[in-house]
Structures are given as C-alpha cells and as structure tokens.
Amino acid sequence: MNNLSNTPKLIKAPSATTAQSFSLYLDRWTLGRLKELQESPEFLLGDNRLPSRTLITRQAIRFYAEVIAQCKTAKKFDFLEGQKQKIELLAKQGKKS
C-alpha cells in the first residue's frame, strides 16, 4: 500500500501581500495558548528554532478542518452543533460595543 496518499502535498506559503493573507486579532486567552504551543519543545523545528505563530495557526486550521470533515463523515452531529455554538459565542464576544 502506498503511504504517500497520507502525506499532505507541500504548498508554498503565500506572501503577506497576496489576497490570501489576512490579519488575525487574538484575545488574551487564545494568544496565551498560541504562545504555549509555539514554545512547546515538541514542536521545535529541525534547526532548533521555535515555529512561528503563523505556522502553528496554519497547522491548527488544517487540523480543525480535518476533524470537522471526519465528524461530517461519521455523522457526529452533536460535536458539529457544539462547534457551531462555540463559533457563535466567539462572534458575540468579538463584537465592538
């Protein structure tokens, strides 16, 4: 069996000036978790550098998208509904007063 099918295709990261980039403003809690992940020794890059916040965020989005796809396939509707509720809560928290 070919293991290459499980290996994600490498995609060159877009430059910050392309239409594919965006600004991401984080609340304190989320920024704290992002920094913890960034500084986690398990994620040191091959040359002993810490991964950038951008790398961690890109991987988090890919991971989340895969989990959501698996939940749809497995018909895990309670989990999907819970995620929808969490996104709605974040949207309410992000509104300016």
- The total domain count for the chain is 1
Domain that holds residue 62: 25-93
62-90 pLDDT tens trace: 999 999 999 999 999 999 999 999 999 98
> Does the residue 11 lie in any domain?
no
34-66 pLDDT tens trace: 999 999 999 999 999 999 999 999 999 999 999
Q: What global pTM score does this model have?
A: 0.72
> Does the residue 14 lie in any domain?
no
* Distances in whole angstroms, Cα of residue 89 to Cα of each of 22, 79, 85: 22, 15, 6
> Does the residue 58 lie in any domain?
yes
> Does the residue 68 lie in any domain?
yes
> Does the residue 1 lie in any domain?
no
> Does the residue 29 lie in any domain?
yes
> Does the residue 52 lie in any domain?
yes
